Each structure stands twice: as structure tokens, then as C-alpha cells.
Amino acid sequence: MEYWSDGFNGWHCPPKIRIPHSEIRNPKWKGSPLSKSLVVVESPTKIRTLKKYLGPDFDVAATVGHIKDLPVKELGVSIEHGFKPQYTTVQGKEKVIRALRKAAGNLNDIYLAPDPDREGEAIAWHTAEILKKKGRRFHRVLFHELTQNAIRAAMASPQSIDKHKFESQQARRILDRLVGYQISPILWQKVLRGLSAGRVQSVAVCMICEREREIHAFQPEEYWSVTAQLEGESPPPFLARLTKKHNKKLRIPDEKASQAILKELAKARFKVEKVEHKTQKRNPPPPLTTSKLQQEAIRRLRFSARKTMAVAQQLYEGLELDPGEPVGLITYMRTDSTRVAEEAVHEARHFIHDEFGTDYLPAKPNIYKNKKRAQDAHEAIRPTSVFRKPTDIARFLSNDQIALYELIWKRFVACQMKSALIDQTSVTISAGPYVFQASGSVMRFPGFMALYPPSNDNESQTKNKVTLPPLSDGMLLKCHRLEPKQHFTQPPPRFSEASLVKELEENGIGRPSTYATILTTIRGKGYVDLVKGLFRPSELGFIVNDLLIESFPDILNVDFTARMEESLDKIEEGEIDAVAVLKGFYNSFKKDLERAAKEMNSVKGNGLAVHLNCQVCGQPLRIKVGKNGPFLACSGYPNCNFTRNYTRNEKGQIEIEQPAAEQPTNEICGKCGNPMVRKQGRFGPFLACSAYPACKNTRSLNAEATRKGEPTGVKCPEKGCDGELVARRSKRGKLFYGCTRYPSCTFAIWDKPVPQSCPECSAPFLVERATKKEGPYLKCFNKECSYKESL
């Protein structure tokens, strides 16, 4: 095997490798006529599926994700040497690497089959790097679906490792490392240790903050509507809405104006001016891309984006439908393409013909165009066989798996069905100078909607059916009543997970494989909260976002980030050089870094100015950030130590939180003999002398709260128990977390529970852990779930 450098400390396979596996194309093929070979995949869950179809002449091993990456505790990029990455073995992967080398042994042929995307290409590259050996041949195979035909086709058409795809992944990794590892220390210095910034995540937070400020700035405007209940020559009565006066659009600003209109209408004669009948065609939606899969799963199934991708991965990698019969159920789930293989279209059309009849089958297959930015590397997400109906395999799958599979299956079949036809009737009614409108719709032919109706919260859903009586031009109508109603204009809506994914996609921010990670990260960092399914920036999110916008305008600019994504795509396509892209970015970024280190406002030191004054000394208050979050502090410190928590009202204005009323206690101050009172401070509950400020004696109650059981906000997970987990101390003084219903409930854990549901498996809470190498991190309480996020 020949290797050569590409400027990134990498190497390449020759551009074409011929594999004399002619028999591999034969449907009866059960293995290679050559000596045994090794297939290396990314996930161990694929091993059984592949072994079933590859036969005894192939061993299969897994990397279990990345085996090499940039180091955790240092930048790991040599900027002065052309942004050369300094890869290290991922912690805990030494055992995996030993197993891979043992499996490779003296074999001559290694088939590299990680996932068919940029990350998979990087895994293939690093795997070949650790297994390289004189005379050994490496073949890159791409499994777009884990079915017998797809696996055999991929093995029969091996490729070389894609240099440009690997360089694109590497450039993205370096860009993210430069931004994250060089901005974050500035935030530690200026705001709070442990904060982080990200090239893409910070833009997502910026979008959420900007939307929140639009909501704060929004001024609702009053307007009124007038609805008439009318009846023609035959029932039923129907409703019509006032829309125009003298054929001009009418706006009713207030109740006074509406009452004046009602007086005029009381004398008017209602007459049908025009009845229009038309048929609206509603075309089926295209097959699913990654972003559309996430949006639909969020809307219809109430899955998070991360959970959607985790379940989709399981469906792709293969599940047992019969004992010993694992099979991949969907095609690869990271794609931005709506393209579908001809065989799959033919299969869907055959199914539609048999199940629904010729009325539901278009004369020609439906073809969908890709968006301009689509890479089209993979097909759309579809079932590997439409004849594998959800009802037939439901007993083999979990509830989440079958729900997502059914969504994908129905969407794909629907995309090849006929359009729905909806009969719409529109009626124009005159009443003196005023014009009313009434409309109704009736489904003439359901088409694709017989299988895949619009979701309840989808903007494109069919309006509620309204039945209109027989009406004709010139018909006089009887008015039963006129109903005025007050309305107010509404602010722009907050982002849901679905709408944020859509916004990111439409603006070219991130790529299909990154959306779920972005949404999880911005919540995990504490910059945003998901309240009733909608994103709201936290106060910390506002503070960090404002500082970053001022110091790093390019990083927080949507267009700049989108152009960078396009540059990464062009690197993958071989159109531009990766080092040139990195140099172009870093030249301006370095200047911003140097300026921010000197000029970024220190929230720790000066704080952020607000238009409020200290309630004790009258000096200006400032926002500062402590270990318990942002708070207000007097600028006259240390002469004045006034502090308060604060909130923002619906207009975004800061309001000082007044401390809870002092609670009298039976304790006596040990210094002056006056009664002690219980108070709540920034660092928790404490006792203070009632003679303050003459006596400033205080005592923290945090230790006592821990002995009694400090609340965690997490409900006990034991079935039928309504207790809560609280912090306690064992007899030896070790902190643990047990149920408040003890001794009737003995549930207890050592790890600190965090009141945040798992985004992957929906477990009720996460637990906090820490190691010397990894630092603090959150892990799912469910032992069978592998979800983990760094703190």
C-alpha cells in the first residue's frame, strides 16, 4: 500500500482499487473466493446484521465512534504550521484499537465501512492510519441501507477514502476548536468559569435572543372584527366576515368604530354578489430529509431532535424482526436530499396500486427537486422496503421505534400518491357599502392525505370543514345577528425545536448531522430554557450573547456562518483548499480575539450597567454573575454591599426581586441577645440578627438544610411513590440523595440528580458525575441509555 501526505498529516488510498470479487454480484453469493477479509464499521450494533449477509469469509469489527480526535485539554491545532491538527487517541479507545489490530492480524484486505458522511470518512481515515501495513489494501464501502442487496452492491463497488470529504470534516473540526477553545477562556475571565462559545451553537442562541427581544419590543395593536350570521333560502345558517368598505380593505381600530359600523349594517340589505367554485389541488409532501424528519417527529410524536436521531439510528443499523434475522429498516438518516432510488419508487407505486387502487396512483412517478444547498450525497430517508408495513413489524419494535418507523414509512408512500383535491366555495356578500366574505371546503378526493394527513399544528393543514347552503348570485340573505369582537396583534412566536431546526436549515446554519447536537448543547450550557416546548433565553444567555455580538460580530452573524458552511461544502467537492479557508477565517478572527481580551466588558469586575439605582445608597446598580447566576450589585461595593436577584418583565425590563419577608425564629442572637430572623440570600437561607444594622451577626442554614434534606427538584422514580429526592448525609458524612418518603421508600443514589429529562430516551432526570480526565458531565439515569453531555 502506498501512502502520501496531504498537508494535514494524513494519507490516501490509490484513487481506484479493483477487487476481484466477481461472485459478489451473484445473488447466490455467500462469501468471497479470496482469503478472509475484515470489515470495520462505526457502530457495534451493525455487526450482527453485516455478518448475516457477508458470510464466514468476512470478520466484522467496530470502532464504536471516533478513535482519534483533537485533545480535550488543549487546543490541539498548530496554527503556525498550517493549522496542522494534533490527533490523540480518544480516551477509553485503547482497548478498541487493540481489538481492531488483532482482528486485522495479517489480513490483506480491510473494508472501511463507517457511516457514509463526513464524520464516517474521518473515522475511516483514522482507522486505516492505525491499521496501515505494508501490502495491506484498504477499501472504502458505503452502506446507505443495511439490506442484503445494498450491502452486496457496496462491497462490489468499493471506493478510495474521500480525501476532500475528510478534509472538510477536519476543517470543520478545526474551526470549531479555534472558536470554542479561544473564546471560552475569555468568557471565563470576563464572566464565569465554565462558560463556552461555539461557532454554530452561539448563532443558534443569538437567533433565540433576537426573537425574544422582538417579543419584548412588540407593541400590540387593537383591532376589531365583525361577523354576521346569515341564512339563505334554505338552511343551514352560515357565518360571513366583514372585509371591505367601498371595495377597499377595512380595518376597524376600536370599539367605537365597530359600533358605528353596526349601526349602518342594521339598515343594510344582505345580498349574494358572487359565488365562486374552484378545486384546490394539494400536492403530497416530498420524502423526508434529516431536518424535515426532526420537524415532523417533534410535531407529531413530541420527540426531541436528539431522540429522533437516536431512534432513527437504531432503525438504520438493524433490528431483529425474527430470531436471528436482524435487518436495517430505513436508509441512512443524515441527508439533505429528496432524491429516491428508482427501485424504491417502483416498489412504492406497486404497493399503492395493490393497497389503494389505480385512483391513488399518479400516471408518472412524483419527482422532487432538491434545494440549492443540498449536497445530494444520500437518498431521502425512506423504508428499505415499503412491503414491510408498520403493522406487520410492530411487535418486534419498541413504542418509539415503531412510531418513528411508521412516520417515515407513511411519508415515503404518500410522496408517490396522487394529490388531494379539495372543493372550495367562496361567497362575496354586499351589505350597502360593506363587503362580507364566506368560504367553505369539502374534500373531493383525499389522495395522499388518506395515508398522511397534515399534522394538527402544521400551517398547511386543511381548514375546518365549513358547510355552506345552496347560494346563487343575487340571492337575498337574512341576517340573524352581527357579532363584533376585539382582537390584538400578536408578537412573533418563540422558537420550538421544530421551528428552530427549520430556521437553521433555511439560513444555511449547520448541516443535517448537527441540528440535534446544536439544540442539546445550547440547553445543556444553560443559555436557553425549553419552557412548554418553546425556547427562551436565560439571563446568562442574554449576557453572553450580547458580549459575543459586540466582540465577535462575524461569529454571531448568520450570513457569515452560512458562507462558512458553503466553504466547507466546497472543500468536500474539491473546489477550494481547506488551509486557505482556515487562514482566511483566522486572519480576522485573531484580531477580534486580541481586542476582546483587552476590551470585552468584565461582568466579574465592572458588571453591566442597568437603569436602576441602589435602594440603600442610591448609586447605580450593575449586573454581575456569581456561582448561582446573574444578580444585581451596588457599584459602590465594598462601601455598600447591597445585592438582589432580579427578573425581566414581558417587555424585557429588569425588575428587582424583593427578599421574602423575614420569618421570626425562637433563636436568640449570641452577640446582642436580640431575636434572630430567617432570611433568604444569594447563597441560600440564613439567620440574621433582628437588630441589623446595629448587629450584623448571621449564620448560614445551608448545612442544616443538607442534614434535613436539601431539595433537588427531582421526583422519586420509584413506581407509585410521590416523594422527592433530597440531599442527605450518611453516618460517615458522605453525601447521597434519597427519597423524602423514607423509610416507606428506600430509593437512594450517590450521584446528584438534575431535574432535566434525557433528550435521548426521555428518562425523568439526569445525574451529575465527574472524573479527573473528563471533568464534570451529565449522564442519563437510565443505565441502558448512553446519553452523556459535558459540563
Question: Which amino acids are annotated catalytic?
Answer: 332
Q: What are phi and psi of 257, to 5 degrees?
A: -65, -35
CB 461, CB 454: distance < 8 Å? yes
CB 673, CB 691: distance < 8 Å? no
HSE (side-chain half, CA atoms, 13 Å) at 612 = 23
Percent helix / strand / coil, the chain, rounded to 5 = 30, 25, 40
DSSP 740-758: TTTTT---EESSEEES---
Q: Degrees (nearest 5) of the Cα angle 533, 539, 542?
A: 95
Cα dihedral value 154, 156, 162, 165, nearest 10: -10
CA–CA dist 179, 634 (Å, integer) = 34
Q: Residue type for 393, please?
A: I
Which run of H or E residues covers position 156?
Answer: helix 148-156
DSSP 34-84: SS-EEEEES-GGGHHHHHHHH-TTEEEEE--S-SEE--SSS--EEGGGTSE
Cell numbers 476590551: residue: 599
115: three-class secondary structure by DSSP: coil
CB 281, CB 446: distance < 8 Å? no
CA–CA dist 7, 129 (Å, integer) = 15
Burial class (CB in 10 A: 0-12, 13-18, 19+), 122: buried
The conformation of residue 221, written as its DSSP 8-state character, comes to -
CA–CA dist 269, 330 (Å, integer) = 62
240: three-class secondary structure by DSSP: strand
Three-state SS string across 334-394, please?
Answer: CCCCCCCCHHHHHHHHHHHHHHCCHHHCCCCCCCCCCCCCCCCCCCCECECCCCCCHHHHH
Going by their DSSP bridges, the two strands 58-62 and 37-41 should be labelled as: parallel
HSE (side-chain half, CA atoms, 13 Å) at 215 = 17
Task: Give the C-alpha distances (Å, rounded to integers) separating 520 from 523, 528, 724, 759.
Answer: 5, 10, 26, 7
The number of angstroms, rounded, from the C-alpha of 415 to the middle of its chain's C-alpha atoms is 25
Beta bridge partners of 436: 242, 429
End-to-end distance of the chain based on CA atoms, in angstroms?
Answer: 43
Bond prior to 493 in cis (omega within 30° of 0): no
Dmax (CA) for the chain in angstroms is: 98
